[in-house]
Amino acid sequence: MASAAPPAPATSSRRRRAARTDLMTDAVMIGPAFALVVAFVLIPIGIAVYLSFTDWDGFTIPPDWIGARNYTRLFQDPDVLRAAAFTAVIAVVGTIACNALGLGIAVLLNRNTRVNTVMRVLVFSPYVIGPIILGFLWSSILGSNGAINSVLTNLGAERLPFLADPTWAMVTTLLVIIWASFGVNVVLYLAGLQTLDDSLIEAAVIDGASPWQTFWRVKLPVLAPTVTLNVVLAAIGLLRVYEIVLALTAGGPAGTTQTVVFNILTTSFSRSQLGYGAAQSVVLMVVIITVTVVLTQLRRRSELAVSA
- The predicted-structure confidence for 45-73, as pLDDT tens digits, reads as follows 999 999 999 998 888 888 889 989 999 99
Residue 261 has pLDDT above 90, yes or no: yes
Mean pLDDT of 122-127: 88
* Confidence band for 288, pLDDT divided at 50, 70 and 90: very high
Kindly report which listed range (114-128, 215-229, 253-267) carries the lowest average pLDDT score: 215-229
Share of the chain above pLDDT 90, in %: 46
Confidence label for 304 from pLDDT (cuts 50, 70 and 90): low
- Domains contained in the chain, CATH given: 74-307 (1.10.3720.10)
What is the per-residue pLDDT across 17-29, written as a single tens digit (0 to 9) for each? 777 887 888 788 8
pTM above 0.95, yes or no: no
Mean pLDDT value across residues 277-289: 94
- Predicted confidence at residue 101, as pLDDT, reads 93
pLDDT of amino acid 305:
61
Residue 41 in this model has a pLDDT that exceeds 80? yes
Mean pLDDT of 247-265: 92
Residue pLDDT, tens place only, 74-99:
999 999 999 999 999 999 999 999 99
Q: What is the dihedral of CA 278, 180, 127, 131, to 10 degrees?
A: -50
- pLDDT surpassing 60 at residue 308: no
The crossing angle, in degrees rounded to 10, of helices 166-194 and 78-108 is 40
Average pLDDT value for the chain: 86
189-243 pLDDT per residue, tens: 998 888 877 777 777 777 777 777 777 777 777 788 888 889 999 999 999 999 9
The pLDDT, as a whole number, for residue 307 is 55
**Nearest 5°: phi and psi at 207?**
-75, 0
- Where residue 7 falls among pLDDT bands split at 50, 70, 90? low
Residue 3 pLDDT: 52
Residue 6 has pLDDT above 70, yes or no: no
Q: What mean pLDDT is predicted for residues 234-257?
A: 91
